[in-house]
Amino acid sequence: MGVAGVDLSSAEPGLSAWLAAGFHGDMHYMQAHGLKRARPGELVPGTVSVITARMDYLPADTPAGWQAVEFDRLTHPSEAIVSVYARGRDYHKVMRSRLQKLSDQIAAELVPLGYRVFTDSAPVLEAELAARSGQGWRGKHTLLLSREAGSMFFLGEIFVNMALPVSEPVAPHCGSCNACIDICPTQAIIAPHRLDARRCISYLTIEHAGPIPLELRPLIGNRIYGCDDCQLICPWNKFAQRSTLPDFDARAGLVGSQLVTLFGWSEDEFLRFTEGSPIRRIGHERWLRNIAVAMGNALRGRAAAGGVNAGANVASCVDRAGLLAALQQRADHPSEVVREHVAWALDWAVNL
């Protein structure tokens, strides 16, 4: 944990430039609040300090060398890849409730305090606040990074109406490394610390509602929810810590499942299997859209563009008949978005 002040004015020009460039795509919530995002005192009047927290999320049973295990999934194109942060319980719930408990306790036992807690739940520049309060530095991929914990952690804050001594920021340690920029499958990191979200697979599979741009579909490979590549390649993630909470243990079905299996889930099954998971928020339609793209890519038979195994020919381990049959079963799906992505996948598979 650390403490930041509320003056983020030096971040405002960067936020405005990012929005003006349209890098937020259709994440209208990023634009809606304008510069309030950089002004904690406007979001919660009376706020004079922000207590910041980070919380590790690697599942407790994560093996040594887990980055190689994750990269290897890209060479099994029939397997569905859900990014690591989304395999357990929704962090919004886990972290917010713990911060709420902590604040209640501080207010009850230590000092009367006005407070509000947030974890990606309001217009707050979380990584900026965390960087200013010594939680780590901003990596070139834009995420917060620490020498003790890499970047596999969530951020959260307690806005308080009491002036607290501010923590010292830490020096950046990216040096001349550019590994995250180089590995990004869609070249979404257009320069150090500059992310065009519209190209990011995390945006395309989670935040974006409509059709996925055609030129980006092949680059998504078999990633069906989020993307971890820029973090997997980061040398500092050898220091990433396992979570001590069972909440972040991976749920059955979300690791190592076949695309065909997840594509077969009915809407009821989708809602049941994703109860309490962040995945639920994308809904069944986007879920099918994402998996259809991955199935098209699997049929095409090449390892996901980008990743360390880029271009490897992996057609031999793909059950073409099974994938084609599953796609054809959804060809008349009531959603136009699903139908169009299924048609694309079938077409992409045959028109080599």
60 counts as binding ligand B12 under rule CB under 6 A:
no
In 3D space, the residue among 169, 164, 158 whose CA is nearest the CA of residue 132 turns out to be: 169
Q: Can you tell me which of 80, 227, 260, 299 binds ligand SF4, judged by CB under 6 A?
A: 227
Near ligand B12 by CB under 6 A: residue from 94, 127, 158, 279: 127
End-to-end CA distance of the chain: 52
Region of 98-106, 169-177, 191-199, 238-246 interacting with ligand B12 (CB under 6 A): 191-199
Q: How far apart are CA 100 and CA 90, in angstroms?
A: 16
Stretch that binds ligand SF4, among 34-42, 181-189, 282-290, 325-333 (CB under 6 A): 181-189
Strand pairing report for 189-191 and 194-195: antiparallel
Report yes or no: 223 and 302 within 8 Å, Cβ to Cβ.
no
The correct pick among 58, 81, 117, 143 for binding ligand B12 (CB under 6 A) is: 143
- The catalytic residue among 72, 104, 120, 268 is 120
230 belongs to the binding site for ligand B12 (CB under 6 A): yes
Least distance (Å) between residue 69 CB and ligand B12: 16
| From 70-78, 90-98, 229-237, 310-318, span contacting ligand SF4 (CB under 6 A) | 229-237
The partner in contact with residue 128, picked from ligand B12, ligand SF4, none with C-beta cut-offs of 5 to 8 angstroms by kind, is ligand B12
Site string for ligand SF4, 198-217 (x = CB under 6 A): --xxx---------------
228 touches ligand B12 by CB under 6 A: yes
Q: For the CB of residue 286, give the shortest distance to ligand B12 in the complex, in Å.
A: 13
**Interface region with ligand SF4, contact rule CB under 6 A, candidates 18-26, 32-40, 127-135, 174-182:** 174-182
**Binding test (CB under 6 A) with ligand B12, winner from 85, 137, 159, 270:** 85
Active site residue 7: no
Q: Which residue is nearest to ligand B12 (CB)?
A: 14
240 binds ligand SF4 (CB under 6 A): no
| CB burial string 301-320: b at 16+ within 10 A, e below | bbbbebbbbeeeebeeebee
* CB-nearer residue toward ligand B12: 81 or 323: 81
Tell me which residues touch ligand B12 (CB under 6 A).
11, 14-15, 17-18, 21, 27, 30, 83, 85, 119-120, 124-128, 141-144, 151, 153-155, 193-195, 197, 200, 202-203, 207, 226-228, 230
| Active site residue ranges | 120
